[in-house]
A and B are shown apart, each in its own frame.
Chain A
Amino acid sequence: MRYSMENGHIRADTRSIPVMDEYDVVVCGGGVAGVGAGLAAARAGLRTIILETYGALGGLATLGLVNIPLDFVSGLGREMIDELEKLDGHWHRNSDPEKHKLVLDRMMKKYGCDVLLVTPLIDTFVEGDTVRGVVVQTKTGPQVILGKRFIDASGDSDLVYFAGGAVECGRESDGISMACSLEFMLGGVDWEAYINSDLKQNDPQWIRLLAKCKEDGDPVTQIENHLNWMTHLPGRPQHCGKDEVSICIAHSRMCRPTDNRDLTRMYIEGREQADLFSRFIKKNIPGFEHSYLSQTAALLGVRESRRIVGEYRFTGEDIAYARKKPDVITISQHGFDVHGIETVGNQKWFRGRLPDGSEAYITNRGGYGSLAPPTDLPTVNMTELIPDGLYFYDIPYRSLIPTQLDGVLAAGRNISSNIFGQSGSRLILCCMSMGEAAGTAAALSLEHGVQPRALDVPTLQRTLIRQGLNIGQDYRDIGV
């Protein structure tokens, strides 16, 4: 291509990009949300493709070593967990990232969903307000894939952003995101010794250990103050002193996860922290005497980044009050949990309004996190007010629909939300279910010849229930 230089930009004189293929549904991102979307659309008989930057499916759940698929298990998520269990790749809600990649590859084959790995989406082709195609980077240069419906499951809203749709990122004041974590794995662990140790059983012991480390000037206490975030890899030899664990302790602060320089900073920082922590753990934690660092994650653990601005902005209040919505497409029961944006610790409260209009620090189940709220206002745990059996909240369909763009839905950790809403709804199986709902909605909207935002929601809900997705139908009357 020929370029000319202009005020710090280069301008392409002529730019003609070949069309590679045309699909009914094009999914950007092969994380669990993209996988759910692609499988659901392919299952509905549509020609579907998933585009993924890295060399495997699963996103954070595999490449990010977040091997703990939490939230309700249903629909395609149920099938994924069952397949993992057949391979001895799932127990106690923990999964084996390697087996997980394999399971996802096989599910693609089973439902006939096409995948392009190592193929980042770099631009979009928009006519009016409707997305018509995407530009991908390939080994032979940029190519275009046309489509009828697009699902942005990139985690970072890349598709909607490139298409000029409205987005937001991080906290409201300055756009800084929640802490990011580069996960790492330790081998040579005696899990039995750890799980039965006083340290695992007794939180005050951790607090004492960390207080002592702080006195000794151990740098790990500058990084995180709660070390109990370990997951056990299933199917890797157990009870013989050779187990493996994946650990989520390293934290980068003041993150800008859509800035490549900052991403690079966080990978390098994460590896240094993994080195420090693996030595700290080996020295101090029972069962880890013979442990060693086996790998850091290929994909940085970005909890939260660019999110679409959609028809409904899902918030912390929705979680705190366990709100139910008429257009529910999946449910979650995980409380909000913002990992320290600026500082060590995690925050499970925010300043907000109670139903009577007065201000308070609103928390939810599971305490405050390690950052306590200030004392100038009362602290109210809203979950105490919620009747038994209704400890879950709804994700509304409107949060998947961008405000201006047509032909597009979002799914996963980049749906329309504020930082507190996002921090609860981002769990792996919830993201996968959002994907399943988005893929199903894409298919129904094509079948009925309407834009996704005009889709008849009860029809979508009935279809999701018939497909075995848990949208709360067992716990209350949804009315469809």
Chain B
Amino acid sequence: MRSIYRVRGGCTLCAMCYYVCPTKAISLKPNVTAVIDAEKCIGCGQCADNCQAEAIVRVERKTDIH
């Protein structure tokens, strides 16, 4: 299991997470929400710390077994 981050409800598209993410895992979908690419997310949590809407949560993700 590893931790990654996901955007849930309440996103105001302020783009703060987009700027702080060290791996550029976040894109902004106009009129929707920020979206985190689970493959690029390293679980550092900076996006969640910077989200004023508290719209980003940590989720546990099972490591893929090939």
Contact = CB atoms under 8 A, between A and B. Distances in A.
A214 to B, nearest CB: 23
Contacts, number: 54
A253 interface: no
A91 B28 CA distance: 22
B65 to A, nearest CB: 31
A201 interface: yes
A381 interface: yes
Given A384-B30, A391-B28, A93 B52 contact: yes
A92 B14 contact: no
A334 B52 CA distance: 13
Given A201-B8, A334-B14, A92 B19 contact: no
Contacts of B52: 68, 70, 92-94, 231
Contacts of B51: 92-93
Interface residues of B, number: 20
A93 B50 contact: yes
B13 interface: yes
Interface string B27-53: 110110000000000000000111110
Contacts of A6: none
Interface in A98-128: none
Nearest to B56: A92
A70 B15 CA distance: 11
B30 A381 contact: yes
Contact of B31 (A91, A92, A94, A367): A367
A388 interface: yes
A202 B30 contact: no
Interface string A383-415: 110001001000000000000000000000000
Contacts of A381: 30-31
B12 interface: yes
B5 interface: no
A195 interface: yes
Contact of B13 (A68, A92, A93, A366): A366
Given A93-B52, A94-B52, A200 B9 contact: yes
A367 to B, nearest CB: 5
Nearest to A200: B10
A366 B15 CA distance: 10
The interface residues of chain B, by DSSP majority, are classed as: loop
Nearest to B28: A365
Contact of B27 (A92, A93, A388): A388
A390 to B, nearest CB: 11
A334 B14 CA distance: 7
Contacts of B18: 391
Interface string A84-102: 0000000111100000000
A200 B19 CA distance: 24
Given A92-B49, A92-B51, A333-B15, A202 B31 contact: no
B49 A365 contact: no
A336 interface: no
A430 to B, nearest CB: 13
A72 interface: yes
Contacts of A93: 16, 50-52
A228 B54 CA distance: 12
Interface string A190-221: 00000100001111000000000000000000
A149 interface: no
A92 B51 CA distance: 5
B30 to A, nearest CB: 5
B31 to A, nearest CB: 5
B32 to A, nearest CB: 9
A93 B14 CA distance: 12
Contacts of A251: none
A432 B52 CA distance: 19
A201 B19 contact: no
29 contacts: A68-B52, A70-B14, A92-B48, A92-B50, A92-B52, A92-B54, A93-B16, A93-B51, A200-B9, A200-B10, A201-B8, A201-B9, A201-B10, A203-B9, A231-B52, A333-B14, A333-B19, A365-B13, A365-B15, A365-B30, A366-B13, A366-B31, A367-B13, A367-B31, A381-B30, A388-B27, A391-B15, A391-B18, A391-B28
Interface of B: 8-10, 12-16, 18-19, 27-28, 30-31, 48-52, 54
Given A200-B10, A333-B16, A366-B13, 8 more contacts: A70-B52, A72-B19, A92-B54, A93-B50, A381-B30, A381-B31, A388-B27, A391-B18
